[in-house]
Chain A
Amino acid sequence: MKTPDIDARGLECPGPVLETKKMLSQTDGRFTVLVDNEAARDNVSRFAVSSGCTVDMDEVDGCFLLAVTPGKTAARPKSEKTAPAARNREKIIFVSSDELGQGDGELGETLMKSFLYACTENDDTPSKFVFMNAGVKLVTVNEDTIEHLQDLEEKDVELLVCGTCLDFYGLKENLRVGRISNMYEIQSALIGADVLICL
């Protein structure tokens, strides 16, 4: 019998699986594992199959020789600790004015409009916009920006609008896009953000 790549005879479970896992992280080619009991045989096969490999088995002198062939798209075994599920990063844009930057008012309005348009064109969309103070005019009375924001909302971007600010400007009845929120939700959204951009 050819020498097996892994001789896992005499190892208690989960030992044979751990040896197989180590080999799988080092090679893309077929390898063999020799085990001396049914528990190890079944565990190694299960592990290999759950990692996207195919397994052939031969019985030799009361031992089991498993030939493990990693699949082309073999899911790599997880790293030592189970990786937390990948989470999308929370990217928030905080808008506290209806103008972008400080300077000429007319220029500021134009820049804001084209910034929002640029957001609609980029596949890497933010997860949320928060509108406060004069920023609420962008979701109520500014036809140009409302259109871009509606496009963003369709792309599952959440638009939070400060209720106090709408009241103050008398614009509550004019809300065209987004939803009314409060300081608690806005505060915890800002604190929890991975990326926060303030306009």
Chain B
Amino acid sequence: MGPGDLEKILSKLPVETSPRLLSRIDQGEDAGVFLLKDNLAIVQTLDFFPPMVDDPFTFGEIAAANALSDIYAMGATPVTAMNIVGFPCSLDMEILEEILKGGCGKVHEAGAVMLGGHTVDDEEPKYGLSVTGTIDPVDIKTVGGALERDIIVLTKPIGTGILTTSIKAEFITESEIADAIESMRTLNRKASEILFSHDVHACTDVTGFGLIGHLHDILKAGGVSCELWAGKVPLFEHTLEMASMGMMPGGLYRNRKFIGHWETRGEDVDPLLLECLYDPQTSGGLLAALPRKGAQDTLEELRKGPCPEAQAIGVITKGPEPFVTIQQECATQ
């Protein structure tokens, strides 16, 4: 669902007040955190969706990597997972087997244990995971905490929403977007290990609300604004080309409608590129606000390691209103 509709409904639900609840649902937090004892909290999340690629094993891997991502965005360690499956009984059961094998492989790669799951008959296949992680409460990385002058770092390129729409329309083949598929099935594990071995003020992962949507969560939670350098944002190959041919997913417009009024932009910003910044992502990268000092070293380490396309894409500016000022290139550094 789009962020607007969801927020309306959530606001009508009772607010949980347990003193052991360490996360706040209304702040766009990636996962729920609940304190079990002094130095141990559990981090819980779930995510599932319909296939965006043809190969069932790859779909399983992508859905699992996407669900696990919320745990990594909080700096926690995944420990257990459960399958969530919707599947038409009329379809070949081997397809389901492949999906589950793909998901299970990713759970094991994450060092977690697959406990089981639940399956319902559905018109269209859907797959995802419920994941539980653990963390010492002092180590929790939340979406809040960004400070003025922090550097905003993104660990994976964006464009998966536009590219998977193009696959659906058969405007492009899966082999032509192999790098985006590889990125979607890559865990954010190593990226989070590197990020959190350094000082990080705020962190989230980029998924359905798009780069600007999730960036806006960081701004809102931290009471800050930011300057975003559109030309620095890494895009997967063919993203702009497909966008220019009308391959924008509906979710992109919903995201822009909801957050767009917080946006101001320079005249030189490429309008097509601007749209891509709202593209909903599947299994996107981590988005973090790092203190300026040391940010370059962290970025280098990410690039040499698991995230060759990691990029500094902007800077946190004075709040308190969460404005996103978009410029084509960095003007202030």
Verify A13–B172 contact, CB threshold 8 A. no
Other CB < 8 Å A-B pairs besides A13-B249, A48-B246, 20 of them? A12-B250, A13-B248, A14-B165, A14-B168, A14-B171, A17-B169, A17-B245, A17-B246, A18-B169, A38-B253, A39-B248, A39-B250, A42-B246, A43-B246, A46-B244, A46-B246, A50-B244, A50-B245, A81-B173, A82-B171
Q: How far is the CB of B244 from chain A (nearest CB, A)?
A: 5
Can you list 28 A-B pairs, Cβ within 8 angstroms, ordered by A? A12-B250, A13-B247, A13-B248, A13-B249, A13-B250, A14-B166, A14-B168, A14-B169, A14-B171, A17-B247, A37-B253, A38-B257, A39-B248, A39-B249, A39-B250, A39-B253, A43-B246, A43-B247, A44-B246, A46-B243, A46-B244, A46-B246, A48-B246, A50-B244, A50-B246, A81-B170, A82-B171, A82-B173
Q: Does B270 contact A (CB under 8 A)?
A: no
Q: How far is the CB of A99 from chain B (nearest CB, A)?
A: 48
Q: Does A80 contact B (CB under 8 A)?
A: yes
Q: Within the assembled complex, what's the spacing in Å between the Cα atoms of A46 and B225? A: 32
Q: Does A47 contact B (CB under 8 A)?
A: yes
Give the interface of B toward A (CB within 8 A). 165-166, 168-173, 176, 243-250, 252-253, 257
Tally of chain A residues near chain B (CB < 8 A): 20
Interface residue ranges of A23-63 to B (CB < 8 Å)? 37-39, 42-48, 50
Q: How far is the CB of B256 from chain A (nearest CB, A)?
A: 9
Contact of B250 among A37, A44, A78 (CB under 8 A): A37
Interface 1/0 per residue, A87-100 and B, CB below 8 Å? 00000000000000
> Cβ of A12: which chain B residues have Cβ within 8 Å of it?
250
> Cβ of A38: which chain B residues have Cβ within 8 Å of it?
253, 257
Contact of A80 among B170, B176, B253 (CB under 8 A): B170
Interface of A is mostly: helix
Name, among A43, A78, A80, the residue most crowded by chain B CB atoms within 10 Å (CB to CB): A43
Q: Within the assembled complex, what's the spacing in Å between the Cα atoms of A81 and B257? A: 32
Verify A46–B245 contact, CB threshold 8 A. yes
Verify A82–B172 contact, CB threshold 8 A. yes
Give the interface of A toward B (CB within 8 A). 12-14, 17-18, 37-39, 42-48, 50, 78, 80-82
Closest to B272 in A: A46
> Cβ of B169: which chain A residues have Cβ within 8 Å of it?
14, 17-18
Closest to A78 in B: B171
Closest to B244 in A: A50
> Cβ of B249: which chain A residues have Cβ within 8 Å of it?
13, 39
Q: Within the assembled complex, what's the spacing in Å between the Cα atoms of A169 and B196? A: 69
Q: Within the assembled complex, what's the spacing in Å between the Cα atoms of A48 and B245? A: 8
> Cβ of B168: which chain A residues have Cβ within 8 Å of it?
14
Verify A14–B253 contact, CB threshold 8 A. no
The 10 closest A-B pairs by CB, nearest first: A47-B246, A43-B246, A39-B253, A14-B169, A46-B246, A17-B246, A50-B245, A39-B250, A13-B250, A80-B170
Q: Within the assembled complex, what's the spacing in Å between the Cα atoms of A12 and B244? A: 18
Q: How far is the CB of B43 from chain A (nearest CB, A)?
A: 33
Closest to B241 in A: A50
